[in-house]
Amino acid sequence: MAQLIENIINQDIVGYIRKEKLEARLRNIFGYDIRVRHVNERFVFDAPRLVTTVSVAMSASSASNIDGERYESVLPYLRYPPLIVTPDRSEIRLVDFASEDATKHDATFTHSEEFESYISTNTQPHARIISICSQNSIRPLQITERALRRLMKLYEIDADFLDIVVSFGDKPRNSDAGLGEMKVKQRADGSYDMQYLLTYADEYKAYGSTKWTIRQIGVFHRYKPSGGGNLWIFLHAKPNTKLQQQFEAKLTECPSTLGQDWFSLHSLVLSSYLVNWRWCIRGLGDQLENSADIALTRDLSKSDGIDQNVLLELLKPQHLGDVILPLSSWMGVAQATISKMQEINTLLYTKGFSTENNYDRVSGDLASYKVNLEGHLRSVRVLERKAQGISDLVGSKVTFDKEITNKFTIIAVIIDINQSMLKLTDEGFDDNATVKVVTLVTLIYLPASFVATILGMNLFDFASEKLSISRQFWIFIVLAVPLTLLTLAMWYFVTQRQLRNRQKMKSKKKEEELMV
């Protein structure tokens, strides 16, 4: 059990609350019961850390916002849940720094209840870094709602953090492209809470070529200039991200800077992800160039020799225009976040919490990131105009020739028909598999059935006036009934197994399509 600290709170400062009410508020903060004593008009209790009167007074309202309404109210509007339900499927990395130059604890929790127990029973260290991962972009964060609430209560994190949490469990939505800018709040104890959602381009390999998809990372940072109690929370859209790899390298090289410098991990986030925008934009530009070459070099008035692939390539600029459209908003949010970091850097320097060298270093890094983003935004605006121009060019050429227009329509209809035929073929495959199993079973038992029928004809005596049945008739019943039941059971087992395997393949294919 961690060492407990005696807390003494004047009753008049807390607001004349009852002892039972104070115990309930302490339960919200620490997650377990703490006995409060009433001594000389004061409340006295032992807790893992010192509790400020402000936190005691505010914990009840903060906890109610987290527990009762905000999270549940948005769930009906989400396509997928942002948090897991089963606690034993968690993946939570926690690193504690006991001081500026020592690592206290480094562990990965695969069970949310173990994580809850650890943070509830261990005092808040000099710095704590928590990383929570999803399996992929369309999977929930691997932490339960209860464990997340315990973390938020323990550190008195504002319910606004849930706005970032509910962005996970699904790919970044175009309708949310303008959300996620950094928010900064100063707390009563002089610490600063910073949180933001950064959307970035992430590369992956498919069929031997480099493809790009859009992911996001959520960041919460509590910085205490006085030292001690600093907290980082990272929400990752997949395991083993580039940020995690750089964090591991930093943890090995110079771990003291991670818990000491307010900008150290923000710099890792920005350097890990902002650089990818350049290459993602270049890839989109190459696709537009290819479509432009076809539109300018092909004579669309001559329909002979124009195959389906060419026509589909000419339709691509319209799709790319939709892909490019939200990029400027995502980059604009990142740009606003950098501007907010510049304000924080200036504020900490003017208050004497940062040295001149650190101020200059952080200012230079942020200015560089901002300049690069401004360049990316100008490139995106160029691509937007180019995509629109190519679409207009293709549209004018196609409209000029009615036959080509019909070809575009026919190609679109053919694609739709092909999708429908694939579904029908898939359903027909299920039926054919069932018929195949039944036929196979019939072929196996048909000879035996024929022989049994011939040999069983002497079980009945029709010659006498009264129909008589052989005394050995029970042998036929004993053999035929269990054999029939066994046959049906084997047929059911085989067909159900095949059905489950096909469903798993369909689910896996759907996840891969959504990740692209």
pLDDT in tens, 53-105: 555 554 444 444 444 466 777 878 888 889 998 888 899 999 888 765 556 67
**Stronger pLDDT, 299 or 127, i.e. the higher one:** 127
Q: Residues 292-303: what's their mean pLDDT?
A: 64
Q: Across residues 190-219, what is the average pLDDT?
A: 89
Please state, rounded to an integer, the average pLDDT across all residues of the chain: 79
User: In which domain, by residue range, is 385 found?
Assistant: 271-432
307 & 424 share domain: yes
pLDDT digits (tens, 9 = 90+) for 235-248: 999 988 888 888 88
Residue-level pLDDT at 138: 86
Question: Is the same domain home to 351 and 458?
Answer: no
**Which CATH number covers residue 144?**
3.30.460.20
CA–CA separation, 159 and 133 (whole Å): 20
Question: Which pLDDT belongs to residue 168?
Answer: 93
Shared domain for 391 and 470, answered yes or no, is: no
Tell me the CB-side half-sphere exposure of residue 152, using CA atoms within 13 A. Answer: 24
Residue 215: what pLDDT?
Answer: 93
- In a domain? residue 58: no
Let me know whether 229 and 312 are in one domain. no
DSSP H helices, 231-275, are: 242-253, 255-260, 264-273
Asked whether residue 371 falls in the same domain as residue 458, the answer is: no
pLDDT at 67: 45
Nearest to 277 by CA among 338, 202, 178: 202
Q: Which amino acid is at 456?
A: G
Residue 63 lies in a domain: no
Q: Which residue has the higher pLDDT, 478 or 289?
A: 289
Same domain, 454 and 499: yes
Same domain for 228 and 301? no
Structure tokens at 392: 């207009």
Q: Is residue 383 part of a domain?
A: yes
Q: Count up the domains in the chain and report the number.
A: 4
Q: Which residue is listed with tokens 């000029």?
A: 400
- Give mean pLDDT, residues 214-220: 94
Q: What is the pLDDT of residue 55?
A: 57
Co-location of 35 and 96 in the same domain: no
The residue with greater pLDDT, 479 or 190, is 190
Residue 405 has pLDDT above 60, yes or no: no
Instruction: Give the pLDDT band (50/70/90) at residue 315.
Output: low
For 441, what's the count of Cα atoms within 13 Å in the CB-facing half-sphere? 19
Assigned domain for 162 exists: yes
Do residue 252 and residue 205 come from a single domain?
yes
Task: Give the mean pLDDT of 195-205.
Answer: 91
Q: Between 102 and 479, whose confidence is greater?
A: 479
Q: Give the separation between CA 22 and CA 31, rounded to whole angstroms.
A: 13
Q: What pTM was estimated for this model as a whole?
A: 0.64
pLDDT the model gives residue 60: 44
91-105, 160-174, 245-259: range with highest mean pLDDT = 160-174
Same domain, 212 and 294: no
Residue 40 included in any domain: yes
Report pLDDT for 64.
41
